[in-house]
Structure 1
């Protein structure tokens, strides 16, 4: 039997064993999740796709009565094992919590150099709205400067702006995505108080 307590497993082997134990065939499972008849066989025997999409994984987990983690979902970190990045500019302010495995999968930065910044104002609308939370990598600053969104300090205030580098001259432009706000062209990195690169954002939809 498949042991749901195993800390590590191969989702393909797990699915193959479940099929054998329950007398299921690959083609029927493929039809169950709305895919072509060869989909499950290709996943198990050829490794295509590399990971089951979330929707298909959920259907199969419910069908077999097992956790989605057995079929490749990221494990849920126990309470107390989440990473809670400090909020930039807000002492002792509670922020969002992230599972370490999720951070490792999406970012190269170690968790200790990630911070959260709450967006204020509309300078970066519609990309970023007031109240959005942005994850900032403090280790990604002037040494690796490239086009993208960065947190910087302007007149004592923390802001996020889009930086674009001139392809020939050693200068950059600080841009607002909202055309109502002016850009600042012809600057050097030394003129900016860069905090880090913005690598993720989250917002409330309603």
Structure 2
């Protein structure tokens, strides 16, 4: 689902205050999955007044920031963001947006209209449709930061994600929102787990493996291609 301004603001506050949706849910007297379901599954559709008041008090913000009746204006486009309308594409090529991950990481989501395009990549039509087996509108390019996936992926490498692939079967490398931020990890579903649980691994052995239930993460998409720096 597309995230509305209230949900986006809530995720921004979560990151700013270095907490997560699970602990915030518990802090306001709700079950651990309450805010995850609100943000990513649309249940409930809007925050009840008592929940909104509790969140505002706990996060030390004005209650109106979390009120659905007041929709903030969209962030203005950056000066270097181009309007591609009217530009002709070379025959046999399809455009893929490279997005500023810093604009998405705070929200843990990649959605049209809620991301900032920093560049456009052109891929051969046959590669997209027959090798990637993807629709161009589902593809996004982002830049890796950090060393948790070294030596496979290094800081500065670019990865292509298919946002239509959100189920970790078979296991693979995914971009996910893990409750604290947008991360790239190897994800594997634990068979017969109840509730459904995934193992989240880094390739760099200096980083710990951890587990999350399906309700605690939001899978943005599967990594299907990478461009490495040498």
| Structure 2 CA distance for aligned equivalents of residues 88 and 115 of structure 1 | 10
SS of the aligned residue for 1:97 comes to strand
Match of residue 129 from structure 1 = 154
Correspondence 1:117 to 2:142: yes
Matched, 1:168 2:180: no
How many Å separate the matches in 2 of 1:147 and 1:155? Answer: 20
State the TM-score, normalizing by the size of structure 1: 0.55
- Partners of 1:88 and 1:115 within 8 A in 2: no
Alpha-carbon contact 1:115-1:135 (below 8 Å) kept:
yes
Q: Does residue 1:184 correspond to 2:210, yes or no? A: yes
State the number of aligned residues: 127
The structure 2 residue matched to 1:108, chosen from 122, 126, 133, is 133
1:16-65 Cα shifts (integer Å, max 9, x gaps): xxxxxxxxxxxxxxxxxxxxxxxxxxxxxxxxxxxxxxxxxxxxxxxxxx
Change (3 A) 1:103 1:157: same
Comparing 120-129 with 146-155, which one deviates more in the overlay?
A: 146-155
In structure 2, stretches of 5+ residues that fail to align are 1-88, 104-115
TM-score, normalised via structure 2 length:
0.50
* Higher RCO structure (Cα 8 Å, ≥6 apart): 2
- SS of 2:184 mapped into structure 1: strand
Gaps of 5+ in 1: 1-76
Distance apart, 1:81 and its partner CA:
4.2
Tell me, in whole angstroms, the C-alpha distance in 2 between the residues paired with 1:81 and 1:200: 17
What per-residue deviation string (whole Å, max 9, x for no partner) do you get for residues 60-99 of structure 1?
A: xxxxxxxxxxxxxxxxx83694413242535131143212
Aligned Cα RMSD in Å?
A: 2.3
